[in-house]
Amino acid sequence: MVKRLRKAVLPVAGLGTRFLPATKAMPKEMLPVVDKPLIQYAVDEARAAGIEQFCMVTGRGKTALIDHFDIAFELEATLAERSKREALMLLRSEAMPPGSITTVRQQVPLGLGHAIWCARSFIGQDPFAILLPDDLVLSQTPCLQQLADVYHETGGNVVAVTEVPHEQTNRYGILKIGATTANRVEVEGLVEKPDPADAPSNLSIIGRYILLPEVVEFLSMMERGAGNEVQLTDAMAKMIGHAPFHGLKFEGQRFDCGDKAGFLEAQIAFALARPDLGPAVREFLKKYINA
Ligand code: G1P
């Protein structure tokens, strides 16, 4: 029987050097897209897909992320006193159930695979999702829900994939593609950040995964890969053939918010999608486009 998906790991230990000075004293995952920090998009998406337990893999200087999901007692009291009902309701509707977030620290930056390995006690023997908050997806159905549907049907590993320009394969985990049915591809191989000349395809993994707990055993080997880091992609590659492994060409658009241009595009796309802001943003954009 396929175990229900209830856990998610959020790797948030990165330094965010690409966004300095904004990230000098603030975690990059607290950068807002419109009015919501990146981390909260990830948590909201996961909760919409049925996730109940979260593990944030943090590092030094990341306490704002933990505070963000706590109850802001003084703030709520002040809002209540001033009859700011709407703001109060917003905070309350987003409150996390007690005990639903745990944190572990990645003491040394040895890569994404190492970050996930740091969460091994939390993972235990259960399937789990990984959401990289840098990747935002604007879609009809939350991206993780789309993956969860595949996982609950196949009981195997599932990663969200999208086509990237061939010259950009060295930025992502890339699939060797097997049999393909509609939007689902069988994963025959995985390579982390291959040179375009060696890339087996231009289908890249984005920051949404559902993995079986066995991946932890392969991560424990601590083998170094691309960039001399412990790569999640390499550990996942070792699971191919042992359990079903699919890439899902998800419905929706992905924004790489770890990149300045991607982050700015996300601001515009998410603002345009908002009924309260869309018309005004569409109007002022004309000014710049026609200039
Ligand atoms: C990580 C993964 C890579 C994946 C990417 C998605 O890379 O290692 O396989 O394609 O996330 O955003 P990073 O962005 O940490 O370099």
Quote the percentage of the chain above a pLDDT of 70.
100
Domains of the chain and any CATH numbers = 7-258 (3.90.550.10), 260-291 (no CATH)
Alpha carbon dihedral 56, 57, 59, 61, in 10-degree steps, equals -10
Least confident of 12-16, 187-191, 230-234, 255-259: 12-16
Task: Among 205, 209, 257, name the best residue to mutate to test ligand 1's pocket (greatest count of ligand atoms within 8 A of Cβ).
Answer: 205
Residue nearest to atom 9 of ligand 1 (CA): 173
What is the per-residue pLDDT for 291? 60
- List pLDDT tens digits, range 242-265: 999 999 999 999 999 999 999 999
Mean pLDDT over the full length of the chain = 95
- List pLDDT tens digits, range 29-58: 999 999 999 999 999 999 999 999 999 999
When pLDDT is averaged across residues 193-219 and rounded to a whole number, the result is 97
When pLDDT is averaged across residues 128-151 and rounded to a whole number, the result is 97
What is the per-residue pLDDT for 73? 86
**CA 171, 230, 176, 245 torsion: positive or negative?**
negative
Does the beta carbon of 247 sit less than 6 angstroms from any atom of ligand 1?
Answer: no
* Separation of CA 269 from chain center: 18
Task: Among 12, 17, 172, name the best residue to mutate to test ligand 1's pocket (greatest count of ligand atoms within 8 A of Cβ).
Answer: 172
Structure tokens at 258: 């770890």
Does the beta carbon of 234 sit less than 6 angstroms from any atom of ligand 1?
Answer: no
Residue nearest to atom 6 of ligand 1 (CA): 206
Cα Dmax for the chain: 63
Looking at the predicted structure, is the pLDDT value of residue 106 above 90?
A: yes
Looking at the predicted structure, is the pLDDT value of residue 132 above 80?
A: yes
Residue 253 bridge partners (DSSP): 138
When pLDDT is averaged across residues 92-97 and rounded to a whole number, the result is 86
Tell me the DSSP string of 152-211: HHH-SEEEEEEE--GGGGGGSEEEEEEEEETTEEEEEEEEES--GGG-S-SEEEEEEEEE
Looking at the predicted structure, is the pLDDT value of residue 187 above 80?
A: yes
Nearest atom of ligand 1 to the alpha carbon of 258 = 14
Distance between Cα 134 and ligand 1 center (Å): 10
- List pLDDT tens digits, range 50-93: 999 999 999 998 999 999 998 888 898 999 899 889 888 888 88
What is the per-residue pLDDT for 100? 96
- List pLDDT tens digits, range 158-177: 999 999 999 999 999 999 99
What is the per-residue pLDDT for 245? 98
Name every residue whose Cβ is closer than 8 Å to that of residue 289 and which is 6 or more positions away in sequence: none
